Amino acid sequence: MIIAERKPLQQIFEMLKSYRRIGILGCGTCVTVCMAGGQKEAEELAAALTIHRRREKEPVEVEAFTIERQCEYEYIEQVKDRLAGYEVILSLGCGVGVQTLVERMPELRVLPGVNTQSMGYPLEQGVWVERCLGCGDCVLHVTLGICPITRCAKSILNGPCGGSSGGKCEIDPEVDCAWHLIHERMEKMGRLSELQAIQPPKDWSVSHHGGPRTVVREEVKLDRGQ
Amino acid sequence: MIAGSKLEKVIRSGQFAVTGELGPPKSADLTMLKQHGEALRNHVEAFNITDNQTAIVRTSSIACGAVLVQMGLEPIIQITVRDRNRIGIQGDVLGAVALGIKNILCLSGDHQKFGNEQQAKGVYDIDSMQLLDGLRKLRDEGRFIGGDKVGAPVSYYLGAVANPFADPFEYRVDRLEKKIAAGASFIQTQCIFDLARFKKWMELVRERGLHKKVAIMGGVTPIKSLGAARYMKNNVSGIIIPDEIITRLQGAKKKKEEGLKIAIETIQQLKEIEGVAGVHVMAIAWEEVVPEIVERAGLYPRPKL
Ligand code: SF4
Ligand code: SF4
């Protein structure tokens, strides 16, 4: 899932300063699960904004509502007219949601209410960890299911480096060294010798570094005209 | 002979080699760097020039290396993979060769979070192993990492680092083996304070005959004060400072002299370990004591070539 965090309230208040009629749009998928931008958070934010404006003696009309996914046209479609009725939309969807809204309704003003962080999962209640950077050429078969691109601070393919100490990464004694974990797992599975192969430089051209990516699959395309 | 550097010659002659280290300044004024280089001229074969050490912006290692070459001194330029991608690094290596630099040391580099540009984007396009392997192929096969042909042959003596004090311990010998396969002709280790662990590592190294395939230079750093020792013990990942060293410094009246003594004794012990080909003395911000250390450790005069 995509993990996000609500932007600091002060920043949100500042972004919305010049608007009177505001729609706060939650998203019912990833950001609901990571408790950053679902209906509950949208309502809380609407309440906070109202109180803030009352204190500032700046009236505001704010409404909070949520769609299933901001990153798909068909869900946006269902609330198109309602969205058009606001001066501005504060989206609590991830960065993809904000952009899908803008692409579908170019006349709309949409501001981001969350900072989109990463792709990962909830490790425990209240803790979300990053696990994938979408590098475009997955190496998890080589590293036995632990991603060094994401979890190693230097994204190295031949680790652990000389900063690995007691299973932790040199950047922070709280952060696991991904390569220590990989080494451990290799050892358990009797595959340590595989680590002796020099992994060649990664092909970053299939990652974001090659420019924005589009996946096209002709066989599943619908010819909408017919 | 690969590149014919002084360091390579001393190592190949089988004599115990000594290298020093110079840290470029946070300015373009290289007066001190030159002074230190001059003061150590007859005491070391070559000088490591750090590459934006601990991710702090400094004059580039290649520029400082070129200045040393002009002075008739020999640099070992460090190249990290933190700040440049494969395009930048390979271009800089060609430039370094053109400027007369003959020794290159490949390493990952400390993460940018330790430096003075903590908001920087770390590059890490390739890792230190891939860097080593890539520079070996650039030299020996005349191909860039991407496969394109190098216009004319280049030569340099390639080195890498090893840290016997990092974990997992057993892997550290595997990693050394891997670095040899990738192209390292010489190895400089992390500063040695825990001699027992270093000796154990060397045993494993000898078991596999790795000391015959690569010149291992033990890293030695004189400790200036008790505070410095404590700081390294508690804050620097990948360095082990045994309690005895702390106790010894605590008990000593003259801390600096004690720090020197520890360094000198370490070198003397390293000389006795089979398979140790030399020492790398890192006395950053205390360069002036290097001649004394080298002399008192019985490594002076340096071999004439
Ligand atoms: S290797 Fe790439 S695709 Fe696979 S988990 Fe890591 S970042 Fe994601
Ligand atoms: S300590 Fe481990 S996780 Fe951290 S940079 Fe080194 S190999 Fe990567």
CATH code where residue B170 lies = 3.20.20.220
Measure the CA dihedral B247/B252/B256/B258, to 10°: -70
Contact B270, B264 (CB under 8 A): no
For ligand 2, whether the C-beta of A156 sits within 6 Å is yes
A160 lines ligand 2 (CB under 6 A): yes
| Token representation of residue B289 | 């004591």
Count of domains forming chain B: 1
Name the token pair of B271. Answer: 């000389």
Q: Measured between CB atoms, does A204 come within 8 Å of chain B?
A: yes
Query: Please, where are the H alpha helices in A88-216?
Result: 95-104, 148-151, 178-188
Q: Would the pLDDT of A225 be above 70?
A: no
Mean pLDDT of B2-28: 98
Phi, psi of A225 (to 5 degrees): -70, -25
Q: Average of pLDDT values for B275-304?
A: 96
Q: Are strands B276-281 and B17-22 parallel, antiparallel or unpaired?
A: parallel
Ligand 1, atom 4, lies closest to the CA of: A138
Closest CA to B7 of B94, B90, B77: B77
What ipTM does this complex have? 0.95
Give me ligand 1 centre to Cα A106, in Å: 33
What are the residue ranges spanned by the domains of chain A?
Answer: 2-118, 133-202
The two counts, helices (H) then strands (E), for chain A are 8, 9
Distance of CA B33 to the CA centre of its chain: 17
Q: Is residue B263 part of a domain?
A: yes
Query: Separation of B181 CA from ligand 1 center, angstroms?
Result: 27
Share of chain B above pLDDT 90, in %: 97
Q: Is the pLDDT of residue A203 over 60?
A: yes
Arithmetic mean of pLDDT over chain B? 97
Q: Average the pLDDT over each of A216-225, B53-62, B143-152 and give the range with the smallest value.
A: A216-225
Beta strands (DSSP E) in chain B are 17-22, 46-49, 75-80, 103-107, 157-162, 186-191, 215-220, 276-281
Query: Per the omega criterion (within 30 degrees of 0), is the bond before B164 cis?
Result: no
pLDDT band at A64 (very low <50, low <70, confident <90, very high): very high
Q: How confident is the model at residue A224 (pLDDT cuts 50, 70, 90)?
A: low
- Per CB-CB distance under 8 Å, the chain B contacts of A180 are 167-168
Helix (H, G, I), strand (E, B) or coil at A74: helix
Average pLDDT of every residue of chain A: 96
What's the average model confidence in pLDDT over B81-101? 98
- In Å, what is the CA distance from B263 to each residue of A148, B191, B198? 37, 10, 15
pLDDT band of A222, cuts 50, 70, 90: confident
Distances (CA, A) of A37 to A5, A17, A33, A131: 8, 20, 9, 21
SS3 content of chain B, % helix, strand, coil (to 5): 45, 15, 40
Our measurement of the distance from residue B199's CA atom to the centroid of its chain's CA atoms, rounded to an integer in Å, reads 19
| B250 close to B226: Cβ distance less than 8 angstroms | yes
Sequence-ordered strand ranges (E) for A16-113: 21-27, 61-67, 88-91, 110-112
Nearest-10 Cα torsion for B255, B44, B96, B4:
-150
> What does the pLDDT average to over B23-44?
98
Q: Does residue B210 surpass a pLDDT of 60?
A: yes
By residue count, chain B amounts to 305
Cα Rg, chain B, nearest whole Å: 18
pLDDT score of A208 more than 90: yes
Cα-flanking dihedrals φ and ψ of residue B72, to 5°?
Answer: 80, 20
Give the residue whose CA is nearest to atom 5 of ligand 1: A132
Q: Name the phi and psi angles at A125, rounded to 5.
A: -55, 120
Domain carrying residue B16: 6-296
Give the mean model confidence (pLDDT) for residues B149-177. Answer: 98
Give me ligand 1 centre to Cα A142, in Å. Answer: 11
Share of chain B above pLDDT 70, in %: 100
Q: Which pLDDT tens digit goes with each residue over A102-157?
A: 999 999 999 999 999 999 999 999 999 999 999 999 999 999 999 999 999 999 99
What is the tens place of the pLDDT at every residue in A66-100? Answer: 999 999 999 999 999 999 999 999 999 999 999 99
Of how many residues is chain A composed? 226
Q: What residues contact residue A183 under an 8 Å CB cut-off, 6+ apart?
A: A159, A160, A192, A195, B168, B171
Gyration radius of chain A over CA positions: 22
Q: Which atom of ligand 1 is nearest to the CA of A136?
A: 3
Per-residue confidence band for B51, with pLDDT thresholds at 50, 70 and 90: very high
Place B305 in a pLDDT band, splitting at 50, 70 and 90.
Answer: confident
Please give, rounded to a whole number of angstroms, the shortest distance from the CA of B17 to a CA of chain A: 23
Interface of B with A in 178-207 (CB under 8 A): 178, 181-182, 190
Does residue B41 sit within a domain? Answer: yes
**C-alpha distance across the termini of chain B, in Å:** 14
Nearest beta carbon to residue A158 from set B110, B127, B161: B127
- On the question of pLDDT at B235 being above 90, the answer is no
The rounded Å distance from CA A18 to ligand 2 centre is: 46
**What confidence category does residue B62 fall into, taking pLDDT thresholds of 50, 70 and 90?**
very high
pLDDT (mean) for B122-144: 98
Contacts of A151 in chain B (CB under 8 A): none
Between 3.30.70.520, 3.40.50.40, 3.40.50.2300, 3.40.50.300, what CATH number should domain A2-118 receive? Answer: 3.40.50.2300
